[in-house]
Amino acid sequence: MSRLASTFDRARAQNRAAFVAYLCAGDPDFDVSLAACRALLANGVDVLELGVPFSDPLADGLTNQLAAQRALESGMTAARVFELVRRLRETSDAPIIFYTYYNLVFSNGVDAYVRASKAAGVDGILTLDLPPEEAGELTAACRAHGVDTVFIIAPTTPDARIAKIAAATTGFIYYVSREGVTGVRDQVAGNIHEAVARIRAHTTLPIAVGFGIGSRAQVAQVAAHADGVVVGSALVNCIRDHLADRDQIAPVLAAKARDLSAGVARG
């Protein structure tokens, strides 16, 4: 059983949702990013969603765009991202998935990129701008190297495509609860229960819900219906707000993770 499957099974057995946390690899620099990721994994995070910094992150709002820019300006490369994962594997066996864009995979050679990801310790790959209809080479490489695939379903996805997306997925379904880009919102989308039920009709895979979730109360709202809750921008904002005193980033993130993770329990 994969680390992702084991993690979601354990959360289900504990009557809670899995807490999936996003940070951009190398934001604001390699050493602080390593400490930040370790702080999350030590304080309630079940799955680390590691953004691979990219110059044109079309699915991301301003918060995550600037995080990618900081990471790139600090010297992050594909090789450094793999090194970050290897360093995280020294102290944690929690699932790590890449949140990336297809150009970064394709330009390095699809099979070579997936093979290197697996060797570094990556458990799954979510390629934001690659629809399953065009993902044959990636899914074949992931299958060959034992890396899970994660695909996105949106509020506008019709039922016929939900079945197709689910068939291409081996890790978990990422339900994007809002149209548009990433970013903290004042309220959680109001139709999550119905949306998750619609997806469940087509798959037995775990369903994680993200985009716009940033408080413990919002985590609890989503955890009541989903198998996983994804928080990104609210954590990245902790980095942005402490750039002048980078030693504070890891402890601030630790406290934020503890607060958010308190919302995943059901009943």
Q: How many CA atoms lie within 13 A of 227 on its CB side?
A: 25
pLDDT of residue 211: 85
Annotate 117-145 with DSSP letters as a single string.
HHHHT--EEEETT--GGG-HHHHHHHHHH
133 in active site? no
As for how many domains the chain has, the answer is 1
Is 228 within the bounds of a domain?
yes
Is 86 within the bounds of a domain?
yes
Catalytic residue among 27, 60, 123, 148: 60
pLDDT of residue 189: 54
Is 266 within the bounds of a domain?
no
Per-residue pLDDT of the chain (267 residues; tens, 9 = 90+): 899 999 999 999 999 999 999 999 999 999 999 999 999 999 999 999 999 999 988 878 888 899 999 999 999 999 999 999 999 999 999 999 999 999 999 999 999 999 999 999 999 999 999 999 999 999 999 999 999 999 999 999 999 999 999 999 999 999 997 654 454 555 565 689 999 999 999 999 999 999 889 999 999 999 999 999 999 999 999 999 999 999 999 999 999 999 999 999 997
Is 179 within the bounds of a domain?
yes
- Beta-carbon contacts of 105 under 8 Å, excluding residues fewer than 6 positions away, are 113, 114, 125, 127, 130, 138
Is 177 within the bounds of a domain?
yes
Catalytic residue among 27, 29, 31, 49: 49
137 in active site? no
pTM: 0.94
Is 10 within the bounds of a domain?
yes
Is 267 within the bounds of a domain?
no
pLDDT of residue 52: 97
Is 131 within the bounds of a domain?
yes
- Beta-carbon contacts of 233 under 8 Å, excluding residues fewer than 6 positions away, are 22, 61, 63, 64, 182, 183, 184, 214
Residue-range definition of the domain harbouring residue 62:
3-261
CATH number, position 253: 3.20.20.70
Q: Do residues 189 and 155 make contact, with C-beta atoms less than 8 angstroms apart?
A: yes
